[in-house]
Chain A
Amino acid sequence: MMLSLNNIEVIYDDVILVLKGMSMQVDEGQIVALLGANGAGKSTTLKAISGLLKPEDGEVTDGEILFMGEPIHNEEASKIVRKGIFQVMEGRRVFEHLTVEENLKTGAYTRKDRKHIGRDIDMVYDYFPRLKERRKQVAGYLSGGEQQMLAIGRALMATPKLMMLDEPSLGLAPLLVKEIFNIIQRINKERGVTILLVEQNARLALGIADYAYIMESGRIVLEGEPAALADNPDVREFYLGLTEVGKRKSYREVKHYKRRKRWLS
């Protein structure tokens, strides 16, 4: 097991309990999707793993996070990056006043083998030819899709073992989303990078994942192979927007009784 979260609890500001006994596993080489509604705690889970909770006054107060068998909860973010976990944050977060190439170089900040950096920049340009055209440009002026590509490219520069992507489809045109998801798959296959993907777009994420977890109010409520999850009537109703008959939900019949989330009781 590459990464395992065992019953972790995260508290913000000493009072707000966000993760309540969250457990999940990520196997080496897999693409694992973590789905859930807004506020379920998906981003918090990623930040707990990558060590980015501290600047937000969050803390893992219970349970443990193991990466390659070592406990990493409440470690410094820079140490966790050195261990091989890299989080691509929600909203892209490229360095706006740095050029594309400088952004890629910051991704390699923790690397010791500095002579291979040039080669890896070319590798990133192979995945994202558009970035090569714009490599001397300031990243703030790239389009949203290009910034997402840059954020993923920056992550690749760190040569991580585990790449965590927080809503890479956020605010992007459907065609671009498809392109980016294709590349995520290629990175997984060709470079052997394990991927933990947080998404709102459940259909898309289930399409490329090997295994998926569904989160609600701070813990995992459902898990399984994507195909099995996609058949689950609850998932179809709440995450894929399909009724039991398989049609798109029609708002004309919206008066019908509401399916309860049975796992909440």
Chain B
Amino acid sequence: MDKFLQLTLTGLTSGAVYALVALGFVLIYKSSDVINFAQGEFLLIGAYLAYFFLGQLGVHWSIGVILTLILAAAMGVVIERLVLRPLIGEPIISVIMVTIGLASLLKAIVGGIWGTNPQIFPAFIPKQEVHIVNAVVTADKLWAIVIALIFLVIFTLFFRYNKEGVAMRAVADDQQAALSVGISVQKIFAWAWSIAAITAAVAGIIVANVLEVSPNLSGVGLHVFPVVILGGLDSIPGALIGAAIIGLLEAYAGGYVGDGSLAQVISYIVLVIILMIRPYGLFGKEIIERV
């Protein structure tokens, strides 16, 4: 029983990080139908920027985090302007291929500036142990869950009630019609990419705080594909629930089955199964076809 509780907590914390990365993923897909393969690299950039400000420059963590988020947002805007705007009107698949290239580019930039060795991150989120019933967890992991939940609520409200949020969904539905009602599609894309970069950066800071900074962090992006496929590529609650399910499955598979190596692949097994039986995910939007 204790082991179960412990594994559950571990699963939920890794799920929280997945959820943050997945939120950005969903956001970009929702507004532009583009699958951003560079989402994991956005996280990497966020982690290294935070490391740069906190570890190398030694500024106070609050300022460092704010600077990181501002730079992440700026990166989103720049990528939209330089990489995506010239591709407007091209087939979606070309844009998706470009994001794969972008992923390699970002990773190479990080490697070029900071090298490929892991660096110790000056953790600022408290790491003291918290006892919940019989399980032990460090406080920074609990914070990860809280932050993910806060972002979920903000995003849900944003898409339902905010003018720009509704406009983002409109752009996702029909770009030309969105233009015809006066929505600037380019502005919406810039918004989507910078918000996605911000959430990924937040996830990056959390992961860096829990572990360390290393180029391997972008691997989180790989774990997020099963999450968004499971939850539905365009569903915000889906991203969160999918993240929790994948996080828990990985934890249980690691703790209960054999030597734990199943944890590495369990999420992809889920991915294959879900693609076979429910390709739009648990909460994804079905294609509406009037007959």
Q: What residues of chain A have their CB less than 8 Å away from a CB belonging to chain B?
A: 50-52, 55, 57, 76-78, 80-82, 86-89, 93-98, 102, 105-107, 109-110, 138, 140-141, 143-144, 154, 158
A51–B185 Cα gap in the complex (Å)? Answer: 13
In-complex Cβ contact of B182 among A57, A82, A95 (8 A) = A82
Interface membership of B180, Cβ < 8 A: yes
Contacts of A88 in B (CB 8 A): 180
B173-198 toward A: CB 8 Å interface, digit per residue (1/0)?
A: 11111111111100000000000000
A80–B179 Cα gap in the complex (Å)? Answer: 10
Question: In angstroms, how far is the closest chain B Cβ from the Cβ of A49?
Answer: 12
A80–B184 Cα gap in the complex (Å)? Answer: 11
A52–B89 Cα gap in the complex (Å)? Answer: 13
In-complex Cβ contact of A106 among B89, B167, B176 (8 A) = B167
Question: In angstroms, how far is the closest chain A Cβ from the Cβ of B155?
Answer: 16
Instruction: Find residues 71-89 in chain B having any chain A CB closer than 8 Å to their own CB.
Output: 88-89
In-complex Cβ contact of B163 among A51, A80, A82, A105 (8 A) = A105
A152–B153 Cα gap in the complex (Å)? Answer: 34
Contacts of A94 in B (CB 8 A): 177
Q: Chain B's interface: helix, strand, loop or mixed, by majority?
A: helix
Interface membership of B288, Cβ < 8 A: yes
Q: Given A95-B173, A97-B169, are A109 and B181 neighbors across the interface (CB < 8 Å)?
A: yes
B250-276 toward A: CB 8 Å interface, digit per residue (1/0)?
A: 000000000000000000000000000
Q: Given A109-B163, A109-B181, are A96 and B288 neighbors across the interface (CB < 8 Å)?
A: yes
Q: Chain A's interface: helix, strand, loop or mixed, by majority?
A: mixed
Interface membership of B170, Cβ < 8 A: yes
The answer to whether A77 and B182 have CB atoms under 8 Å apart is yes
The answer to whether A140 and B184 have CB atoms under 8 Å apart is no
Contacts of A77 in B (CB 8 A): 179-180, 182
Interface membership of B285, Cβ < 8 A: yes
In-complex Cβ contact of A78 among B88, B166, B176, B179 (8 A) = B179
Contacts of A57 in B (CB 8 A): 89
A93–B183 Cα gap in the complex (Å)? Answer: 14
Interface size on B, residues (CB 8 A): 23
Contacts of B179 in A (CB 8 A): 51-52, 55, 77-78
Closest to B185 in A: A55
**30 A-B contacts (beta carbon < 8 Å):** A52-B180, A55-B179, A76-B184, A77-B182, A78-B183, A78-B184, A81-B180, A87-B180, A89-B180, A93-B176, A93-B177, A93-B180, A95-B170, A95-B173, A95-B178, A97-B173, A98-B169, A98-B170, A98-B173, A102-B166, A102-B169, A105-B163, A106-B166, A106-B178, A106-B181, A109-B163, A110-B181, A110-B182, A141-B290, A144-B290
Contacts of B180 in A (CB 8 A): 50, 52, 77, 81, 86-89, 93
Contacts of B177 in A (CB 8 A): 89, 93-95
Contacts of A105 in B (CB 8 A): 163, 166
- In the A-B complex, the 5 residue pairs with the smallest Cβ-Cβ separation, listed nearest first, are A81-B182, A140-B288, A93-B177, A110-B182, A95-B173
A78–B171 Cα gap in the complex (Å)? Answer: 13
Question: In angstroms, how far is the closest chain B Cβ from the Cβ of A56?
Answer: 8
Closest to A114 in B: B163
A109–B178 Cα gap in the complex (Å)? Answer: 10
Closest to A138 in B: B288
The answer to whether A55 and B175 have CB atoms under 8 Å apart is yes
Closest to A147 in B: B290
A158–B170 Cα gap in the complex (Å)? Answer: 16
Question: In angstroms, how far is the closest chain B Cβ from the Cβ of A220?
Answer: 24
